Structure 1
């Protein structure tokens, strides 16, 4: 069984402070992943993570997501990539320390975008690593773009691309970030209620009420995530997407298929 995980940038970094990783949370998530792998021997996992206060700060500063012309200064493109790699190294080292055979795979080396959308990515090494029971670790990254010069490809876009490959159809995708989808922004409205399940009956209302993100983020907020995951559950039969927070124990429970875990599940039915 294949499961994709995303460690959200807002969870593993302080998005209000440049390049501040939350080591304790990364370590906790790594340990819970290790426990789930020990409990379910048939579990194969791909880990993705956001860039948080690492890559997003540079991407915003230099407008990488809006595009660069060939004769522009591409230093910002390189700085964005370098920052994402620094966070990736931290995540991979914590996974390795937890006894997980994590393998860092930098997406931008083979990504190609068109108009801000991913159109090509060489995934042969990732698939081979998974076949060998390793845990590939990817991250949102810069990409060359045939239309606008440069783009940012989010972790969700990468996972969505992988999910459509016949050899990598996941049973679940677990997004660790906000503790679910709410009827309003719970930081602003104390009356906001968590939506436990998103399906055909309520998707329109959910998208109408979903808001943006907090802190610096050039890949969109909650609405874009829900929209993309909704499209994905329509495409991949039987796929369930869990949106959970970093509360201790939540990741392990979601990986093992405990549908009572606090959060929101998105299903196609």
Structure 2
């Protein structure tokens, strides 16, 4: 079975800045992945990451996510794609330095969308990489869109496509970002409490309490991420989705099938 991981753009970059990578965090997360693979060499991982202060800055500035007409200037599209690739290179190189055999596979090179939704993505290279015990690394990216001209495809949308429309059915998805899902925004409300478990019984309440992003984010923020993941939980009965903070020990623990000290688990029951 496969495990999907996402390094959130808000933890691997400073999203309030511009192209500011959190190198220490990326290094620690890479070492956590390496530790899990050393403990369990059979782990089959697909790793995705957000664009944070790299791609989101240009996407928001040029409105790439809203669509650029075919006959308009597409410089913003190119700048967004290039920025996302710069961060991807940092992530992949850091993984390689930690002895994780990561290989970058740019989604937009083989992806198309309509109304911001993926209509086609050639995912065979991801499967082939896994067959060779490599770690394919994908990222939130631009897309040529049949309806609106251009779009931004989030990492969650990519992972969702892989989970539902490719042979790579995951057993576990790990989102590395906030420490957990909270009853309110913990950055604004000191009384906010972590929600350890999300099931059918409380998903509606959780979504009603969840907001968007605190910085430039053209992919919808926390609420959108939870909605995406809950759709997968409903579609894949045995799927577990973990939301954890960028603490290396917690990432290693979840990769090895253990429960972290703090985090939120989403599952059907």
What's the TM-score, normalizing by structure 1? 0.98
Counterpart of 1:126 in structure 2 is 126
Deviation at 1:5, TM superposition (A): 0.3
Q: Distance in 1 between matches of 2:215 and 2:60?
A: 11
Between Structure 1 and Structure 2, how many residues are aligned? Answer: 269
Give the secondary structure class of the aligned counterpart of 1:68: coil
Counterpart of 2:64 in structure 1 is 64
What's the TM-score, normalizing by structure 2? 0.98
Two-structure CA RMSD over aligned residues (Å): 0.9
Counterpart of 1:169 in structure 2 is 169
Q: Which runs of 5+ in 1 are unaligned?
A: none
Distance 1:110 1:166, change over 3 A: closer
Q: Distance in 1 between matches of 2:31 and 2:260?
A: 21
Q: Distance in 2 between matches of 1:220 and 1:132?
A: 34
Q: Which runs of 5+ in 2 are unaligned?
A: none
Deviation at 1:268, TM superposition (A): 1.6
Q: Distance in 2 between matches of 1:259 and 1:165?
A: 28
> Within 5 Å, which residues of 2 pair with 1:92-241?
92-165=92-165, 167-241=167-241
Deviation at 1:166, TM superposition (A): 5.2
Q: Distance in 1 between matches of 2:160 and 2:222?
A: 16
Moved more, 244-253 or 223-232: 244-253
Q: Distance in 1 between matches of 2:248 and 2:126?
A: 29
Q: Distance in 1 between matches of 2:166 and 2:267?
A: 20
Q: Deviations over 1:15-68 (max 9, x none)?
A: 111001011100000000000011112210010000000000000000000001
Counterpart of 2:4 in structure 1 is 4
Q: Distance in 2 between matches of 1:72 and 1:188?
A: 40
Q: Distance in 2 between matches of 1:147 and 1:167?
A: 28
Distance 1:131 1:7, change over 3 A: same
Contact 2:250 2:260 in 1 (8 A): no
> Within 5 Å, which residues of 2 pair with 1:67-82?
67-82=67-82
